């Protein structure tokens, strides 16, 4: 037999209230004034009948899709999994869903189509090339959008983390252990996060009275990290420690060190930005700087739900950030 969809009227009948009351309860209407026992009766009926609101009908009534978009560079980068978790939680709290896509999939064009047809209420843009006319095209969609974890010189609408402070924490840790030849395995050329982390690295080195060590750029992948670390180890005066701009790059960097016949941390120490659960299971466990990635996702969605399409947002998230010391760092060899 074909399953019968539970309707608003079915819930209203069981709870012995008007359909309008049920609608306002399930949509968390803050202006609804009813007795607590009435609200409890409605919620009990919703639960017993397994009622699910008709999203399409609700969208027609409210002129909203109850859906946010998040566009990221690559699902393979584990850092974005943490951001997505926070964004999904914030969307659910607003009674919405999150649709996530990547530059390696359908590309930004698919999201632009969704914006143009009004099928999402806002977009978090964590990965896309600048592109001619991108900003103007987003503005023409007339829905809120925010750059997440990245900035652009032409855009005053972003939420980012304090990457410079994260880099300083990492370098200060290495300096405190006695390292003087500290290299930087940087992020991709032109990436805003990479530029901010390099700025923090360079500032911390100057404050310690040290020159910048050798620097090699890589994409945020294990393969990129391995190639860049091989380059650093081939320097005339190899470093005793390396600050890596991303935890995925650090995985490849550690493999390259072992491949060169060197021991971590006895001969070379490694510390990376971003703390993920997998960092504690590496050999040796990786010292990292923990950043508020979930909070970044939550904040981005929260802002989408409250700003107007033309509002300016320039926010550096002031969340908790701390160094997680593990077995990949130690005093330099004598």
Would you write out the chain's pLDDT as a tens digit for each of its 334 residues? 445 677 878 888 998 998 888 888 877 777 888 888 999 999 898 888 887 665 544 443 444 567 888 888 888 888 899 999 999 999 988 888 888 887 776 566 666 665 555 567 888 888 655 544 566 666 676 778 889 988 887 777 899 999 999 999 999 999 999 999 999 999 998 889 999 999 999 999 999 999 999 999 999 999 999 999 999 999 888 999 999 999 999 999 999 999 999 999 999 999 999 999 999 999 999 999 999 999 999 999 999 888 887 788 899 998 899 999 999 999 998 7
CATH of domain 163-292: 3.40.50.2300
- Residue 222 has a pLDDT of 95
> d(Cα 21, Cα 11) in Å, to the nearest integer?
10
pLDDT value at position 62?
45
Identify the CATH class of 8-53: mainly alpha
| Whole-prediction pTM | 0.77
Contacts of residue 315, defined as CB under 8 A and 6 or more positions apart, other chains included, come to: 158, 159, 160, 299, 303
The answer to whether the beta carbons of residues 270 and 264 sit under 8 Å apart is yes
Q: Decide if domain 62-161+294-316 falls under CATH 3.40.50.2300.
A: yes
Angstrom distance (rounded) from CA 86 to CA 101: 16
Domain boundaries, the chain: 8-53, 62-161+294-316, 163-292
Same fold, 8-53 and 163-292: no
The secondary structure element, H or E, covering residue 258 is helix 247-259
Q: Rounded CA gap, 188 and 190, in Å?
A: 6
Task: Give the pLDDT confidence score for residue 59 in this predicted structure.
Answer: 43
What pLDDT sits at residue 9?
85
The C-alpha atoms of residue 307 and residue 326 are separated, in whole angstroms, by 41
* Pairing between β-strand 322-324 and β-strand 287-290 as defined by DSSP bridges: antiparallel
- Cα distance between residue 218 and residue 252, in whole Å: 11
Peptide bond into 265 cis (omega under 30): yes
């Amino acid at each position: 037999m074909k399953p019968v969809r539970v309707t608003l009227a079915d819930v209203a009948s069981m709870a012995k209230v008007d359909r309008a009351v049920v609608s306002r309860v399930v949509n968390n209407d803050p202006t609804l004034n009813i007795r607590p026992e009435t609200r409890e009766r409605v919620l009990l009926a919703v639960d017993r009948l397994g009622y699910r609101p008709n999203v399409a009908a609700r969208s027609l009534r409210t002129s909203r899709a109850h859906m946010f978009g998040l566009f990221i560079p690559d699902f393979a980068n584990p850092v974005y999994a943490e951001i997505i978790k926070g964004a999904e939680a914030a969307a659910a709290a607003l009674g919405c869903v999150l649709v996530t896509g990547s530059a390696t999939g359908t590309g930004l064009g698919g999201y632009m189509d969704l914006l143009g047809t009004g099928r999402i209420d806002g977009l978090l843009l964590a990965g896309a090339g600048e592109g001619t006319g991108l900003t103007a095209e987003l503005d023409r969609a007339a829905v809120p959008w925010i750059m997440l974890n990245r900035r652009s010189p032409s855009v005053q609408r972003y939420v980012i983390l304090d990457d410079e402070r994260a880099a300083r924490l990492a370098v200060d840790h290495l300096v405190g252990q006695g390292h003087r030849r500290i290299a930087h395995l940087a992020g991709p050329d032109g990436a805003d996060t990479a530029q901010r982390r390099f700025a923090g690295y360079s500032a911390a080195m100057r404050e310690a009275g040290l020159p910048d060590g050798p620097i090699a750029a890589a994409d945020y992948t294990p393969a990129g990290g391995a190639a860049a670390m091989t380059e650093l180890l081939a320097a005339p005066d190899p470093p005793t420690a390396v600050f890596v701009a991303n935890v995925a790059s650090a995985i490849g960097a550690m493999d390259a060190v072992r491949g060169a016949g060197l021991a971590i941390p006895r001969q070379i120490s490694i510390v990376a930005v971003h703390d993920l659960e997998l960092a504690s299971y590496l050999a040796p466990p990786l010292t990292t700087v923990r950043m508020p990635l979930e909070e970044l996702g939550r904040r981005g969605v929260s802002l989408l739900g409250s700003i107007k399409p033309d509002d300016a947002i320039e926010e550096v998230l002031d969340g908790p950030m701390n160094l997680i010391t593990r077995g990949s760092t130690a005093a330099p060899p004598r």
